[in-house]
Structure 1
């Protein structure tokens, strides 16, 4: 008798909870099944999640709700509506934060600028804004990247083309940007990009951390927390990867502390030092090893993986759109000249003249944003401009990938690579509101390194295109990887040939 009563109570409870979920989820993106929620649709399309998000959001007017299995709190409001994005990231900025759950998922980022809120975020932002806007840092950055392009990138590509072998261009950029960010942030060049393509444990650890963070978004919280406690699966991989990174960074921090304790600023003789040294000098008391570690990790993500992603997708798009490549070369010849020494690396002032190249990079970031989705949490109840209600603690995901593929935002030719859409009739760069083109975020959290990123990408792109023709290997399957950074799953296999002068 007791069993029947218990079963009846359980059935009533399930029915009540089922209707409660139906009432709470007013704009479902998929069928909401009892107990398992909308998880089946997500898991079945996980392998093509970015393109799947485009299809689903288009069929629901750009905004809808996802509910996970019961009692997992795996519920999101997902949007690609630029008016909603503008409201959340700018107009009502104070009501939408990263939040504690975000910091838990992105624990590897620590309390750095990407995960922090309130005063911690403001302090980090003010600190790095003062560093990035310093003219001496721009000079240091230009010198560092031009040296790396000249002495490593072009040397490796020249060696590859002489051998006539296939190379993974994404791997080349991974190594190049890792060396470059190490030199810029740490003042240390690990020489990952060399002729023998050495295996670099710390570079591999970075990729594993990002992939693990992505899976935390699509797995119930209790499940990945259990895996973390048991140290199995992705969570074990993430723990080991974080340990490798932390050992690498803390060793360098200790070395710099020792160096700075022996020599004061005036005795170093450096007009401009790497970012870590500069931060240590400017905050000798409040910047402990933990703060510095978190700052370094966040700078690595901002200045390494995003550039790798952008450059890889850029060269794939250019290689598969020969007319765009021809126009980039034509612009360089017209504005820079047919320098017989094409191996010379363009300066920042020279690449600023390359408007068509700028447009091609913007198109790349529109179609393949380095960070394909953004996440926020509401503090208080709100109503979005689209009419969708937001409850306190609602998790909101923006699909930046989908936004670049909406006809309502970019026109019927949105799937075309069209640098001209970024160029005015007078030949200048067209301004597009950041809430439409969210590749560098929008509102108060707009990326501080936006202009520096463009300059670095232009220097690298111009150096390669002036010297080499890049051809994608026939039969290559190009698909996005499942990670918080939009890299290619199988890399970008290409053949390099010397360009005739």
Structure 2
């Protein structure tokens, strides 16, 4: 502490404390030989402590270390960048602007969270998620923020718990599961989807196709997972209580990252009240199905199952989880079953519906892309007479794959994520030092728009970048095309998502011409003006995607 700072602290406490300072100025330096503080009141001591804290944390969050080697937005004393992040309504746009202003590796601090360092470039992501993945975890704070909704599922835990969850889930997403469970459930719901679209075409009614996609993915995934009909697609005019509750819960979970006292404030405010109501809907739905299924399994009863094999045995993901046995031979308990399914649901429902919404918007606002995809669909219809896609053949649909991957590049379904360092580290290729406890932040939203990663046309929607000169789909490393994550925690459901998107797009645009009616104001926070989006764990559009459809002639 400098002599000036020492005197300042003394003056602040002078009215209620006696300070004795023996300081000698010697050759331009200050030599402090004694400092004795005898507070005459607790207020004086408190003022002194506050002064010292302000000196120690002048523009960073309390508890964090100064990092003059890192660039980033200046914060407030003790609070760091908390005030801005709390009022910021566009964190994705902020991340992009910060990356453009300070470069990849920019940093900011939050009290109770610590220092966050941007690592949104392929080689650093490769290091964090693969080369040194044991050195970075989601951490206890992440788990505590998520556990009241997602429990201890695959997305919220680390270490042995994560390995156990991953091992179970990996056995679920097999070729056999696709052939016997997944494709059948999706095709059943495609019939319902086609029926709804035909009714809209007949009446000329405009409708929110994003809502329809959410209903479709919820219905199909619940059938895949539980063999249950939520009614979200079979009764499209009825309220989607579960879907609305799940969406609200995700929004609140995302907000908790910038609200250090959320666990206290949610006990008293309206957000907390609505969150508890949403959790009850989610818990009642999932718990009742798990309890019922466990009782049926105990009795050997599969009555009323919608999907059964040749021997009359039900086929869905929950049955596969129930059949799983731990190393000691014990089954999964009801809570573990519930957590496993809900964690898969957040991936199976939301991310796929959002990819479909953004891809549809890109197609109907870009005539070249619309024609590009429609030609491939028409060719299939002419060659086979069917719009069905077989699981083994969907990777041959190069144009749809290209349009989908380009959509996800600019509209990643998980636009941002974090990991916490468990030990000191240094990022490769001249990257910054990461201290134990620091959080690394990667923004796929910002990286998808980075010219250093994707070239000077990074902000342009150009599906052809995904097609090689020989007409085959171009393979891009996962640390660059990062929307399905990378390394050991790469998305297990990526094949399901790609298959489902290709199949739905085939039916929607193969049978109907889709016209955009209204989307509301645009948001120009980024280089390219895109529709407003909600701040959430995933990346939904904020406003209804209102369209009209008519039968293809």
Check whether TM > 0.5.
Answer: yes
Deviation per residue, 1:249-297 (Å, 9 max, x gap): 1111111112111227999924661000111123383301010010011
Between 1 and 2, higher relative CO (CA 8 Å, sep ≥ 6) is seen in: 1
Alignment of 1:406-485 (within 5 A): 406-474=450-518, 476-477=520-521, 478-485=531-538
Deviation per residue, 1:158-184 (Å, 9 max, x gap): 111211111111110111111111100
Q: Distance in 2 between matches of 1:196 and 1:131?
A: 29
TM (normalized to structure 2)? 0.84
TM (normalized to structure 1)? 0.92
> Against the structure 1 CA distance between its residues 421 and 267, is the aligned structure 2 distance closer, same or farther, given a 3 Å change threshold?
closer
> Against the structure 1 CA distance between its residues 94 and 267, is the aligned structure 2 distance closer, same or farther, given a 3 Å change threshold?
closer
Q: Distance in 2 between matches of 1:279 and 1:73?
A: 35
Query: In the alignment, which residue of structure 2 is the partner of 1:33?
Result: 76
Q: Distance in 1 between matches of 2:362 and 2:420?
A: 35
Given the alignment of the two structures, is residue 52 of structure 1 paired with residue 94 of structure 2, yes or no?
A: yes
Q: Distance in 2 between matches of 1:29 and 1:200?
A: 42
Query: In the alignment, which residue of structure 1 is the partner of 2:274?
Result: 237
Match of 1:292 among 337, 343, 353: 337
Q: Distance in 1 between matches of 2:500 and 2:49?
A: 64
Query: In the alignment, which residue of structure 2 is the partner of 1:360?
Result: 403
Deviation per residue, 1:128-174 (Å, 9 max, x gap): 21221242443321111011101x11111111121111111111011
Match of 2:316 among 274, 282, 287: 274
Q: Distance in 1 between matches of 2:81 and 2:395?
A: 48
Match of 2:174 among 120, 133, 144: 133
How far is the alpha carbon of 1:339 from its aligned partner?
6.0
Q: Distance in 2 between matches of 1:318 and 1:413?
A: 18
Alignment of 1:240-259 (within 5 A): 240-259=277-296
Q: Distance in 2 between matches of 1:268 and 1:430?
A: 40
Given the alignment of the two structures, is residue 3 of structure 1 paired with residue 16 of structure 2, yes or no?
A: yes
- Structure 1, gaps ≥5 residues long: none
> Against the structure 1 CA distance between its residues 281 and 268, is the aligned structure 2 distance closer, same or farther, given a 3 Å change threshold?
farther
Partner-residue secondary structure (3-state), 1:192: coil
> Against the structure 1 CA distance between its residues 243 and 384, is the aligned structure 2 distance closer, same or farther, given a 3 Å change threshold?
same
Partner-residue secondary structure (3-state), 1:173: helix
Q: After superposing the two structures, state which structure 1 stretch, 72-81 or 83-92, moved more.
A: 72-81
- Determine if contact 1:470/1:495 at 8 Å carries over to the other structure: yes
- Determine if contact 1:25/1:65 at 8 Å carries over to the other structure: no
> Against the structure 1 CA distance between its residues 231 and 274, is the aligned structure 2 distance closer, same or farther, given a 3 Å change threshold?
farther
Q: Distance in 2 between matches of 1:22 and 1:126?
A: 38
> Against the structure 1 CA distance between its residues 116 and 475, is the aligned structure 2 distance closer, same or farther, given a 3 Å change threshold?
closer
Deviation per residue, 1:163-209 (Å, 9 max, x gap): 11111111101111111111000010112124652102111110011
Query: In the alignment, which residue of structure 1 is the partner of 2:539?
Result: 486
> Against the structure 1 CA distance between its residues 267 and 414, is the aligned structure 2 distance closer, same or farther, given a 3 Å change threshold?
closer
Q: Distance in 2 between matches of 1:475 and 1:241?
A: 27
Match of 2:226 among 162, 186, 192: 186
Match of 1:375 among 418, 435, 454: 418
Q: Distance in 1 between matches of 2:418 and 2:372?
A: 37
Query: In the alignment, which residue of structure 2 is the partner of 1:14?
Result: 54
How far is the alpha carbon of 1:47 from its aligned partner?
2.1
Q: After superposing the two structures, state which structure 1 stretch, 116-125 or 231-240, moved more.
A: 231-240
How far is the alpha carbon of 1:330 from its aligned partner?
1.3
Query: In the alignment, which residue of structure 1 is the partner of 2:185?
Result: 144
Q: Per residue, is there more helix in 1 or in 2?
A: 1
> Against the structure 1 CA distance between its residues 397 and 379, is the aligned structure 2 distance closer, same or farther, given a 3 Å change threshold?
same
- Determine if contact 1:335/1:354 at 8 Å carries over to the other structure: no
Match of 1:88 among 128, 153, 159: 128
Query: In the alignment, which residue of structure 2 is the partner of 1:215?
Result: 255
Q: Distance in 1 between matches of 2:178 and 2:379?
A: 30
Query: In the alignment, which residue of structure 1 is the partner of 2:240?
Result: 200
Query: In the alignment, which residue of structure 1 is the partner of 2:162?
Result: 121
Q: Distance in 2 between matches of 1:234 and 1:75?
A: 27
- Determine if contact 2:59/2:80 at 8 Å carries over to the other structure: no
Q: Distance in 2 between matches of 1:429 and 1:116?
A: 34
Q: Distance in 2 between matches of 1:272 and 1:337?
A: 36
Partner-residue secondary structure (3-state), 1:23: coil
Partner-residue secondary structure (3-state), 1:348: coil
> Against the structure 1 CA distance between its residues 35 and 13, is the aligned structure 2 distance closer, same or farther, given a 3 Å change threshold?
closer
